[in-house]
Chains A and B, each alone.
Chain A
């Protein structure tokens, strides 16, 4: 990984080349029950109809790491640090094997949750924001982050209408509350508070998730049309350079 400057230059040249459609990274963030998955699906369908090549990536879905996380969640064996580090590993593996290859090929990557999910949940579990954020370095910033703002009450109502929250989803590892419903309500309140802070710090585009599905979808289309004109962010040069230096983009 020596001479990263050469790879940074190559990354800049590739992503600022106006002769081809550049890859775009769009993240959907928000609490459980905020309706972001519904919106992500509608958005993907629309993008495909518009002629975009679309790749979707979901939180905690790396084929390599997900089974490791699942087996530990099943036996409730994770401390907040282990939870955070394993999700960081899952994210890194997807960045290297799914997200960056797709962006390099000029595709639109739609991320159903991004690193901000890790930040919000881990900080809600009592970890330090700075420590967690640095785990995700070199940082890859989305071109657009849609944040689906919902109240803790609405999140709880929507989630509980379909299922009882699982142990970690309910934050029972940190609330020490036996009742998953009560624990969820307490934990999601903390998670949403962290999301609200992150939305300000990282300038998310906030979508009012209490509005109708159609209204939200049309707002997202419009915001995407505006956002896709933005220039490539040079903040991503380090992440792309490291990937290129370790064999990425070779094909």
Chain B
């Protein structure tokens, strides 16, 4: 693909490694002179800091993680995505909104709350969805979903991990069909 106008390409999925691979492929499909780069989750370092917090602080819930994801996305939009687009360059956001929405929906968070949460994020020019289950710890690039599985205790997830992956995959496939 050769982008004529600067494009925001969103790559969403469950597995961090699959998202990363699809993001690289999306980037190389853009004319070298017109591309910026890949905007990845945790560009702001919020989750890196969260991961080193003491256990005494208590684990985050899915809702808390999603609020942090939105804060990180606001940071990415401010420092990576919008400047690239303003400079006439295309950018790949991997993951973008749908990964977080799928995670929240799978864990029972209402769609209206999620829609409001990400209201500030512009619609991507193009959406790509990747299949594949969340990788095990230490295998491939860890994505937001794998991080969430590590941080949120089973009881707070409200379902088993395979069930959540199944729900997320179904949600994302549904979104892919509608796009």
Q: Which residues does chain A contribute within 8 Å of B158, judged by CB atoms?
A: 1-2, 245-246
A92 touches B74 (CB 8 A): no
Of A64, A79, A134, A242, the contact of B50 (CB 8 Å cutoff): A64
Given contacts A92-B61, A96-B61, contact A81 B54 (CB under 8 A): no
Binds A, one of B25-33, B63-71, B84-92, B168-176: B63-71
Given contacts A86-B68, A137-B113, A245-B108, contact A67 B49 (CB under 8 A): yes
Proximity string of chain B (30-74) to chain A, C-beta cutoff 8 Å, 1 when within and 0 when not: 000000000000001010011001101110111110011011001
- Check if A181 is an interface residue, CB within 8 A of chain B: no
Proximity string of chain A (88-100) to chain B, C-beta cutoff 8 Å, 1 when within and 0 when not: 1100110011000
A-B contact count (CB 8 A): 91
A92 touches B153 (CB 8 A): no
Size bracket, chain B contacts: 35 or more
Most buried by B among A63, A65, A96: A65
A64 touches B74 (CB 8 A): no
B67 touches A63 (CB 8 A): no
CB distance from B56 to the nearest CB of A (A): 6
- Select from chain B the residue with minimum beta-carbon distance to A64: B57
* Interface residue ranges of A82-134 to B (CB < 8 Å): 82, 85-86, 88-89, 92-93, 96-97, 131, 134
Binds A, one of B7-15, B114-122, B134-142: B114-122
* Interface residue ranges of A1-53 to B (CB < 8 Å): 1-2, 4
A92 touches B64 (CB 8 A): yes
- 10 contacting pairs across A/B (C-beta < 8 A): A1-B108, A63-B54, A63-B58, A82-B44, A92-B63, A93-B58, A97-B58, A134-B117, A135-B117, A250-B155
